[in-house]
Amino acid sequence: MPIEIRLPELSASINEATILAWRKRPGEAVKPGDVLVEIETDKSAAELEASDEGTLLEILVQEGAEGVPVGALLALLARPGEASATNGSPPARETRSARCPAQAASTDLSAAPAPERVADATPLARRMAEQDGIPLASIRGSGAGGRILKCDIEAARGMRPPGPLAPEARRAPPKTELPPVLSRFARVRGQDDSAAQHAQELPAEAPFHELRHATARRTQAARLAESKRSLPHFYLTADCELDGLLALREELNTRLREGEPRFSVNDFVIRAAALALRRVPDANVSFTEEALRFYDRVDVAVAVATDAGLVTPIVRDADRKRLVDLSRELRDLSERARARRLRPEEYQGGSLTVSNLGSYGIQSLLPIPNPPQSCILGVGAAEPRPVARDGAVAVRTMITCTLSADHRALDAATGAELLTALRCGLEDPLSLVL
């Protein structure tokens, strides 16, 4: 009886994945612990291991397949001694989930009945069909392998005709009335409306190239768009003096051994944010439909730019870690985030995210909170600015910190307390290392 290898549930927030590469081919022997396939989720890449011994019988989802839902049948594994040929009636199958090494202990590998086969469709197309009451079985998909796409659902409900537009339709310029201001401008220059109309038209075949969305970027775009639409957030801004912090950082770096990584300004910022959350526990909260959820630990996420989009690995218990330990952990998380090698538990949750664009010379930014987190801190570049000190103008090294917060979870006064605590920490850097 062949064993069905299915895509496991890596975490509660991951619903689909992309198949990157199969490490085993049909006919090859498989042992428990062997890596079967490499996948990519919206946050990281992962290797799925076999939990049974046998021979890989058939691969059902090919490399490059995107939007593969959790629970999808990936491959068939023949048990030792079973014939690999499938002559005669197809044998019964036993279900297994491939194991992700980071979650092998928590994955349920018990036998389960194979779910009824359904039409292959993207998650969005499936939701649209359910909302409109359109049976997927009645639709012929236009995607790879007959997969049902959003455009197929729209065509089925009469929103637009199926298939691509004809070249003539794509090239036909829209006939729009010339705005009055352009019409008047044309007359002043001695031109008629047709000349001005031609001037405002864009070339029909403007040169461009497209890069298909990676799973991470597509998911990130959907989440941020939803956050911007539905999450009522406010902004608070504070300028922080960094001269004392920079002097302490330079002194600490001179004490490090040759070849040891140096402390960065961001290390101090994350440490200050963690201690600020400890001092203002009412800000260590997230909003749910049933209640406010207050967290008993301080976990700070850090925005890391990768080729596939933004990833936010989390420093757990950041308020309890020494600056040197926090710095090493942050460097390790950032490197593995860029290599797409984070485990799910290393980027899920978090109390607050720090997004630091200081290295790009950006003075300030207004970031969008990432639910379920209620706060995100935007940090700009450290730069010399004139400030008033004791009735005189002095030049100090300053940074601008902007807190963006979910107004459902905390009010502006609580946000101001948090930002003030952050500023006090940055301007008293010894408190961050003691």
Query: Identity (one letter) of the amino acid at 267?
Result: D
Q: Which of 198, 209, 213, 407 is catalytic?
A: 407
The answer to whether the CB of 414 falls within 8 A of the CB of 283 is yes
The answer to whether the CB of 333 falls within 8 A of the CB of 302 is yes
The answer to whether the CB of 209 falls within 8 A of the CB of 195 is no
Q: Diameter of the chain by CA atoms? A: 94
The answer to whether the CB of 334 falls within 8 A of the CB of 266 is no
Among 272, 332, 324, 323, which residue's Cα sits nearest to residue 298? 272
Determine whether 198 is an active site residue. no
**Distance between CA atoms of 122 and 61, rounded to whole angstroms?**
14
Q: Within 13 Å of residue 77, how many CA atoms lie on the same side as its CB?
A: 26
**Distance between CA atoms of 297 and 315, rounded to whole angstroms?**
11
DSSP 84-128: S---SSPPP-EEEEPBPGGGTTT---S--PPPPP---B-HHHHHH
Calculate ∠ Cα 235-424-402, nearest 5°: 20
DSSP 330-349: HHHHHHHHHTT---GGGTS-
Query: Identity (one letter) of the amino acid at 333?
Result: L
Active site residues: 407
